[in-house]
Structure 1
Amino acid sequence: MSTPPLLSYGFRPFFLLASLWGGAAVPLWLLAYGGSIQLSNAYGDVGWHAHELIFGYAAAVICGFLFTAIPNWTGRFPVKGAPLLFLVVIWVLGRLAILGADHIGLAVAAVMDVLFLVAVIGFAAREIVAGSNWRNLRVLVLVAALLVGNILFHVQTLSQAPTDLALRLSIAALIALITLIGGRVTPSFTRNWLVKREKPLPLPFGRPDALAIGTTMVALMAWVVAPALLVTAALALLAAALLVIRLLRWRGAPTWREPILAIMHIAYGFVPVGFLLLAASVAWPGVVPASAVTHSWTVGAIGTMTLAMMTRASLGHSGRALKASPATLILYAAMLIAALARVAAALAPDFAMPLLTLSGAGWSVALLGFAVVFTPMLVAAKPARTRTSA
């Protein structure tokens, strides 16, 4: 029995599920925020919102990315068919468990939710080890940090403690993944594009890159454990400066002509912006609230980079040209509007509700629009290559 196209590669079901769930979760939260509905007594509406965008949406995108990239890393066949369906089912059950936690209990919901990342790490580790691709095991260390954040979130919820530490740890793990993986693929794709146009190429990985990565990891850890200390602000400023230098080394300015590539540079740029806001929030907490930092990273860096990777991977792995269509450009613009409006809502509380509404609308247009535009590619078999005459 042949494998249906939707279960032939990790990106297909998980990018589709991520876009549908991520696009629906924010309007639901806005309705709850406005008092029209109540989502969760167990987690609180804000807690549910934060959890589902990190461990529902972002975790699904990570799963789709990993099980699409790992065959390229290892030379092994992709995880597909029944094993991939198993991952899909436990992800869906996790979303239903969190929604129904008021009825099934927090402990049961926690176990059902945590199983997904446990399974992702288990399947991915098996493939990486079997392919002797040891260097990419460090990616799973960061996914494991995300799992720890999820477990801690549930433990803190069960003990009725604030979940801020768990959420900071989880966001830090995602930003670290963007720093590493985004910092690997963005200059690589940029180089491939620039070399065809005889433009100055990105500088090779060197000491400035290693220093930027190392400082970023330290600054993120400082933010997780001590977000309000002056030393955290100093590390954040240093990380921001080094990340900007790293971004400039990639020679991305000409890519404005290729939006599917330029959007990756923009997404990466939200990481140093978040660090600048972090430093400002320590120095002027009454002016720059902590939520400006988190949403620069969650909506700006994570939202934009995941959308960029989903569009690029869906086109490339389904046999289409790596070109952003007019519809895809609308998705990019909507996500950038969502990011800017969400940070502005934190900085301008007098206009918070209209800005939150604008941000939510942009986020949902971007993700639900992705589902509309890309579902035909995700559910269809990859077109056969046609021969052309010389």
Structure 2
Amino acid sequence: MHSLPPRSVSETLLSGGYRLFFPGSAIAAALAVALWVPWYLGLLDLPVALPPLAWHQHELLFGFVPGVVAGFLLTAVPNWTGRAAIAGRPLLCLFLLWLAGRIAIALSGSTGLIIAAPIACLFLPAFAVMIGRELAAAGNRRNYKILVILALLSLAQVCFFVELDQFGDTLVSARLAVATIVLMVSIVSGRIIPAFTGNWLKANRPGLLPVPFSRFDAVVIVLSLVTLLAWVIQARASLNFATPLGVLMIAVSAAHLVRQFRWRPLKTLREPILWILHLGYFFIPIGFLLMGSSLLLDDQSLTSAGIHAWTVGGIGIMILAVMTRATRGHTGLALHAPWTTTWFIYAFAIIAASARISAALLPTDASALLSVAGIAWIVAFLGYVVFYGSIVLRSR
């Protein structure tokens, strides 16, 4: 019996979505912040058609995050449907479409947004169609909700350019994007964190196990949806409902904390690849708490702290946690974080989140803290590229 010939590098890269999109998105995340921080501090000027804040928002919310989501879903959907993974030429075309969006925005200073914006907006609907086709072919209606998430994020991106053109800012569209991603993290976390924690505890520390998804989780998700929707509307609402919304935000924060406590986070402290998932999720209720406090106190520093608790903390840390775990799992490596992952990826991601939230709360030290947060973010995501770049080239 003859063994199969080894796959080429290109065949390996095109065999699974995470192999292209995870490293590509990590590089995009590091590059976006490496350019943004000196631009914000007045040390650099980028020749793009977007204002500094809008560019920062767009490339992270509609570039980096959708790339990671693509890598995750292209890996997860075959497990949900039992169908073969999207691979080969279709995967390459999808990745190039995502990359074209990054290049279009980078060249928008020369081409104008009239050309760059439509190119940048192509990826999300194209990806949603591909995922929708896979789910429909398998009759997997249970996961149609992920298509709603992708549609909302695509809508937010289109509204981003329209709102910027009409109002000169992106108050509603940026909030819609953040709210959609926070909701997605809340939904996906409820599926993966209790499952991964339960599997590890059964093998290592038998006893009280995480509570699986239940009616309580559904109530928390619905409350989060209502609260985040009200927060999006509040951006331009003529009616002032900041006080009741602030109270609701704090109540939802408490609900998320109770939800997380049911997942037994303190039992995972011996395994970094597990506790980093719990820590990433912990920033979701922290974001609700800070945002609720900002609405009650009318404090913009708390608003910025809340947004960055969600984005740098909840989204950024959770993304690194999922990317490292998925890469190890799908290449046949042990689901254990080596010291390089713990100290060069997880630790720096935590520093980035802590420093960025502190920069919002301590304006007199903001420049120094922003620099610390930016450097730590870059180290964390380039750490993934350095330590996992060779792993994605491995056949299972």
Alignment check: 8 A CA contact 1:211 1:242 kept: no
Whole-angstrom CA distance in 1 between matches of 2:201 and 2:182: 26
Kindly indicate whether residue 347 of structure 2 is the aligned counterpart of residue 333 of structure 1.
Answer: yes
In structure 2, the residue matched to 1:321 is 334
In the alignment, which of 286, 296, 303 is matched to residue 299 of structure 2? 286
Aligned to 1:4, the other structure's residue is in SS state helix
Kindly indicate whether residue 201 of structure 2 is the aligned counterpart of residue 199 of structure 1.
Answer: no
Q: Deviations over 1:320-344 (max 9, x none)?
A: 1111011100210100110010010
103-112 or 199-208, which deviates more: 199-208
In structure 2, the residue matched to 1:369 is 383
Aligned to 2:389, the other structure's residue is in SS state helix
206-215 or 55-64, which deviates more: 206-215
Alignment check: 8 A CA contact 1:334 1:365 kept: yes
In the alignment, which of 281, 290, 303 is matched to residue 268 of structure 1? 281
Whole-angstrom CA distance in 1 between matches of 2:215 and 2:48: 49
In structure 2, the residue matched to 1:240 is 253
Q: Deviations over 1:214-258 (max 9, x none)?
A: 111111111111156112112111111111110011112110101
Q: Deviations over 1:65-109 (max 9, x none)?
A: 010000000000000010000011111110011111111111211
Whole-angstrom CA distance in 1 between matches of 2:300 and 2:156: 28
In structure 2, the residue matched to 1:70 is 77
Q: Deviations over 1:343-365 (max 9, x none)?
A: 10001100000000000011000
5+ long unaligned stretches in structure 2: 1-6, 236-240
Aligned to 1:35, the other structure's residue is in SS state coil
Kindly indicate whether residue 234 of structure 2 is the aligned counterpart of residue 220 of structure 1.
Answer: no
Whole-angstrom CA distance in 2 between matches of 1:162 and 1:203: 43
223-232 or 267-276, which deviates more: 223-232
Alpha-carbon deviation of 1:381? Answer: 2.0
Kindly indicate whether residue 371 of structure 2 is the aligned counterpart of residue 357 of structure 1.
Answer: yes
Alignment check: 8 A CA contact 1:107 1:158 kept: no
In structure 1, the residue matched to 2:356 is 342
281-290 or 65-74, which deviates more: 281-290
Alignment check: 8 A CA contact 1:142 1:173 kept: yes
Whole-angstrom CA distance in 2 between matches of 1:15 and 1:293: 26
TM-score when normalising by structure 1: 0.95
47-56 or 367-376, which deviates more: 47-56
Kindly indicate whether residue 219 of structure 2 is the aligned counterpart of residue 211 of structure 1.
Answer: yes
Alignment check: 8 A CA contact 2:48 2:107 kept: no
Alignment check: 8 A CA contact 1:296 1:339 kept: yes
In the alignment, which of 232, 242, 263 is matched to residue 229 of structure 1? 242
Q: Deviations over 1:5-51 (max 9, x none)?
A: 11100111000101111011101111211222212452111211111
Alpha-carbon deviation of 1:288? Answer: 3.8
In structure 2, the residue matched to 1:150 is 157
Alpha-carbon deviation of 1:174? Answer: 0.4
Whole-angstrom CA distance in 2 between matches of 1:338 and 1:185: 24
Kindly indicate whether residue 43 of structure 2 is the aligned counterpart of residue 36 of structure 1.
Answer: yes
Q: Deviations over 1:147-197 (max 9, x none)?
A: 111011111223353101100000101000001011110001011111122
Alignment check: 8 A CA contact 1:277 1:288 kept: no
Kindly indicate whether residue 322 of structure 2 is the aligned counterpart of residue 309 of structure 1.
Answer: yes
Whole-angstrom CA distance in 1 between matches of 2:97 and 2:174: 22
Kindly indicate whether residue 265 of structure 2 is the aligned counterpart of residue 252 of structure 1.
Answer: yes
5+ long unaligned stretches in structure 1: 383-390
Alpha-carbon deviation of 1:286? Answer: 3.3
- Give the partner amino acid of 1:365: V
The within-5 A match list for 1:42-191 is: 42-191=49-198
Number of residues paired by the alignment?
Answer: 382
Alignment check: 8 A CA contact 1:287 1:347 kept: no
- Give the partner amino acid of 2:330: H
Q: Deviations over 1:127-146 (max 9, x none)?
A: 01111111101011011111
Alignment check: 8 A CA contact 1:280 1:288 kept: no
Whole-angstrom CA distance in 2 between matches of 1:22 and 1:67: 20
Alignment RMSD = 1.4
Among all aligned residue pairs of Structure 1 and Structure 2, give the percentage whose two residues are the same amino acid.
Answer: 41
Alignment check: 8 A CA contact 1:202 1:250 kept: yes
Alignment check: 8 A CA contact 1:219 1:235 kept: yes
Whole-angstrom CA distance in 2 between matches of 1:29 and 1:199: 47
- Give the partner amino acid of 1:371: V
In structure 1, the residue matched to 2:238 is none
Whole-angstrom CA distance in 2 between matches of 1:198 and 1:366: 33
Whole-angstrom CA distance in 2 between matches of 1:318 and 1:114: 32
105-114 or 2-11, which deviates more: 2-11
